[in-house]
A and B are shown apart, each in its own frame.
Chain A
Amino acid sequence: SAVISQKPSRDICQRGTSLTIQCQVDSQVTMMFWYRQQPGQSLTLIATANQGSEATYESGFVIDKFPISRPNLTFSTLTVSNMSPEDSSIYLCSLTSHTTGTDTQYFGPGTRLTVL
C-alpha cells in the first residue's frame, strides 16, 4: 500500500487566518484527492488535484477558499483560507494505488483543524 504523510497533524487557528496542509506520498501518482470530514460526519470530496493542471472542485467548494497546489507527482498542498469555526474538520489527502491490477483508495492520517 502507499505511504501518505500529512503536515501538520493538527492545528488550532484563529478566525480569519489561513492554513496550508501538506501531503507527501512515497510514490508517483497522477491524481490526488482532498477530503473534508466535519465532526461526527462522513467524508466529503473537496477537489481532485492533477499534476500540471488546475484542481477540479466539487460542488460547494471553490478555489478561493481552498486553493490547491500540485507541483509534482508526489506532493500536494491544500490551503484553507480566511478560516471560520465552520472550517473545523479533519482534512485528508488521498490517492489511488494500483497494485496487482486493482485500484484501491488510500488515505493519509489526516490534519485535525480547529478554528477558534
Chain B
Amino acid sequence: AQKVTQAQTEISVVEKEDVTLDCVYETRDTTYYLFWYKQPPSGELVFLIRRNSFDEQNEISGRYSWNFQKSTSSFNFTITASQVVDSAVYFCALSEGNYGQNFVFGPGTRLSVLP
C-alpha cells in the first residue's frame, strides 16, 4: 500500500528565511502522482502542484520550488524568502492512479512564519 511521510510535524522560521518541507513516499506502482496542498487557518485546501512519476524535472513557481527525486522517493517543497502569509499546514499527497483513486495524504507539516 502507498504511504506518505512528512517527518517535520512543525517548523517555525522568521520572515524572509528559506524553508524546506520534506516529503517521502512509498509506492509499488511505476505510474503515480505527487501533490502538495496548503491549508491556511481558514481551513480550505489550496492546490499547489501536481507532478507525475515520469517527470523528474524540478519546478519553480515564484517563491515556491519543488525537488522531485525518484532515487530517494522524495518530493520536497522549498519556500524562498518566507512571508507571514505562508503560515499554514502543508500536505504532501500521493495518488497511484488517475481520477482521485488511491489518494493518500501525508500527516502534514505546520509552518509558522514569524514576523
Measuring CB to CB, which residues of chain A are less than 8 angstroms from any residue of chain B? 1, 30-31, 33, 41-45, 48, 90, 92, 94-96, 102-110, 112
Contacts and interface: CB of A to CB of B under 8 A. Distances in A.
A95 B106 contact: no
B52 to A, nearest CB: 8
Interface residues of B, number: 21
Interface of B: 33, 35, 37, 43-45, 47, 50, 52, 91, 93, 95, 98-101, 103, 105-108
B101 A48 contact: yes
Identify whether the interface residues of A are mostly helix, strand, loop, or mixed. strand
Please indicate which of the listed interface residues A48, A104, A105, A108 has the most CB atoms of chain B within 10 Å of its own CB: A105
A112 B42 CA distance: 11
Contacts of A90: 43
B90 to A, nearest CB: 11
A33 B93 CA distance: 15
A105 B91 contact: no
B35 A105 contact: yes
B91 A103 contact: no
